[in-house]
C-alpha cells in the first residue's frame, strides 16, 4: 500500500472502522515506513487530547436559530437576483450617460457650426439658376473630355 492511501486510512484505522484486509495492510505499512508511523503517532496523540475534552450540549434553540439564519441568507441572495425591472444595472446608467455626453457635444460644437455663415448654412442656400446651369455645363464638358481622352 502506498503512502497516500495509508495516510487517507489512518483516521479510520484509529477509530477501528477498517475491514480486516485494509487494517492488516495499514499495519504492515506502518511497520516498514517511518514517515507514516510518525504521522500515525501524531494523529493518535491529537485524538487522545481531543477525547479528553468534555462534550458540550448545544442550546435547545440552536438548530432553529441556524435554520433562521440560513433562510435569511437565501432570501437576501434571492433579493440580489431581482430582474432588471426592479433595479437599474451599472451598464444601463453608463449607456445613458454616454448618450447624454454625445447630445451635449452635438449641441455645444456641431450646432454652432451648422448655423454659422461659414459652416453648413452655405450648403442650404439655393443657387441661382445661372450658376447651376454653368456648373452643369462644366461637368458635361469634363465628361466629354474624359470620354475622348481614353
Query: What digits encode the pLDDT tens for the residues 1-32?
Result: 787 888 889 889 888 898 999 999 999 998 99
- Higher-confidence residue of 92 and 101: namely 101
Question: Which pTM does this prediction carry?
Answer: 0.39
121 — pLDDT class (breaks 50, 70, 90): very low
- Domains of the chain, by residue range, sit at 3-51, 85-120
CA distance 7 to 23: 13
The grid coordinates of residue 120 equal 453648413
**pLDDT at residue 132, as a whole number:** 82
Amino acid at each position: 500500500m502506498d503512502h497516500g492511501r495509508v495516510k487517507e486510512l489512518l483516521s479510520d484505522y484509529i477509530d477501528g472502522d477498517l475491514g480486516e484486509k485494509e487494517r492488516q495492510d495499514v499495519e504492515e505499512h506502518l511497520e516498514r515506513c517511518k514517515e507514516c508511523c510518525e504521522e500515525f503517532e501524531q494523529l493518535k496523540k491529537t485524538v487522545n487530547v481531543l477525547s479528553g475534552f468534555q462534550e458540550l450540549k448545544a442550546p435547545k434553540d440552536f438548530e432553529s436559530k441556524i435554520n433562521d439564519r440560513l433562510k435569511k441568507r437565501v432570501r437576501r441572495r434571492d433579493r440580489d437576483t431581482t430582474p432588471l425591472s426592479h433595479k437599474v444595472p451599472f451598464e444601463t446608467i453608463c449607456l445613458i450617460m454616454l448618450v447624454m455626453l454625445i447630445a451635449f457635444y452635438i449641441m455645444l460644437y456641431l450646432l454652432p457650426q451648422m448655423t454659422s455663415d461659414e459652416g453648413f448654412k452655405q450648403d442650404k442656400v439655393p443657387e441661382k439658376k445661372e450658376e447651376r446651369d454653368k456648373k452643369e455645363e462644366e461637368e458635361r464638358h469634363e465628361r466629354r473630355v474624359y470620354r475622348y481622352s481614353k
